[in-house]
Amino acid sequence: MNKDRKNDQFLYIILAVLFAAVAVIIMYPKVTSELQPAVQTQTGGVLKGESRDLMREVESVTEESSGDDFGQLRTEAEGL
Amino acid sequence: MMKQAGLAAGLMVLLAAGMVVAQEDVDYQNPQTWRQEVRNEIRSQKERLQELRDKQRMELKAKIAQIRDARIKLLVEKIGERMCTVNTNRTESMKKQLETFARILDKAEARAKTAETAVARKAIEDALTAVESQSARPCNITLTGTESAVLRADTRNSMAMLENQLKGVKEQVRQARRAVTQAIISVAKVMGEYE
């Protein structure tokens, strides 16, 4: 009886650990996403969740300046 | 007899369905269908600009051949090539930016479609058309003479024209960025992610 009870307890522990692992896998991205600071828009509103992530992606796209290129070209043209 | 009649009727239904589908290929309310039209327009515009570019190259080559000073000749060629390289590099960079914006907009639209997402889609397509046109546009120096003063003026004018053209296209890319930003905010409002 004792042995059966110990086996059952062991099984319950395993199941509990499995459920906990599944819960962590599901909840981890959502929790870490919520912990990140919100993004404030130019109109003063605040974005959260996936919208905030998308806005960050847009902001990460940087413009390149062609000013340096034309500066160099103009310098070369002085030699004409 | 009945079998043949049934087969004929079935074929007619299929034919009619095919005709209806073919007519509905382009739905101007649905960007997914008019993108092909935009692509076709870009392609034909590029071909026309490519012809102009080749023509400019031939004319420049003929004019450069008339320059007596070897150093000046080499310098004009070098500057002309550099201008085209700048044009290619800038347009490639802007094209990549627009592709990124389109990808981000796809993600936003997968969550919710709003009026702002349609506006952003159009802005990206317009900017892409401008970038593709600019990449095919004549980018070299346009020479009107071979005297030193004329060469200098022509080179400066050609550079200024290219710089202005690139600025114009850059502004369209900026507009596309602003439109995508507004689209994200509009989707955020729908999804309850905006405070």
Q: Give per-residue pLDDT as tens, B33-91.
A: 556 777 777 778 878 888 888 888 888 888 888 888 889 889 999 999 999 999 999 99
For residue B182, CA distances in Å to A61, B117, B120, B125, B153 come to 16, 8, 8, 16, 43
SS3 call for A43: coil
Beta carbons of A45 and B185 less than 8 Å apart: yes
Quote the percentage of chain B above a pLDDT of 90: 53
Question: What is the predicted pLDDT for the residue at A33?
Answer: 62
The answer to the question of residue A44 being in a domain is yes
Higher-confidence position of B13 and B114: B114
Interface predicted TM-score of the whole assembly (ipTM), two decimals: 0.71
Three-state DSSP class for residue B25: coil
A30 domain residue, yes or no? yes
Question: Is A75 inside a domain boundary?
Answer: no
Domain range for A30 is: 2-62
Structural domain contains residue A70: no
Tell me whether residues B75 and A79 touch, CB distance under 8 A.
yes
Pairwise CB contact (< 8 Å): A46 & B195: yes
Greater confidence (B9 vs B82) lies with B82
* Two tokens, residue B168: 């114009």
Residue A69 included in any domain: no
Residues B171/B173/B175/B177 CA torsion (nearest 10 deg): -140
Choose between B148 and B164: higher pLDDT. B164
Q: Does the CB of A39 have a partner CB in chain B at under 8 Å?
A: no
Per the domain annotation, does A52 fall within a domain?
yes
For residues B112-151, one letter each, b for 16 or more C-beta atoms within 10 angstroms of the residue's C-beta and e for the rest, the string is ebbebbbebbebbbebbbbbbbbbbbbbbbebeebeeeeb
B120-149 pLDDT, tens digit each: 999 999 999 999 999 998 888 888 888 888
User: What total of structural domains would you count in chain A?
Assistant: 1
**What is the Cα gyration radius of chain A?**
29
Domain ranges of chain B: 31-191
* Rounded Cα gap, residues A43 and B185, in angstroms: 10
Geometric angle at alpha carbon B104, from B27 and B186, rounded to 5°: 75
B→A interface, C-beta within 8 Å: 72, 75-76, 78-79, 82-83, 86, 89-90, 93, 97, 100-101, 104, 107-108, 111, 148, 151-152, 155-156, 159, 163, 166, 170, 173-174, 177, 180-181, 184-185, 187-188, 191, 193-195
Domain annotation covers residue A76 = no
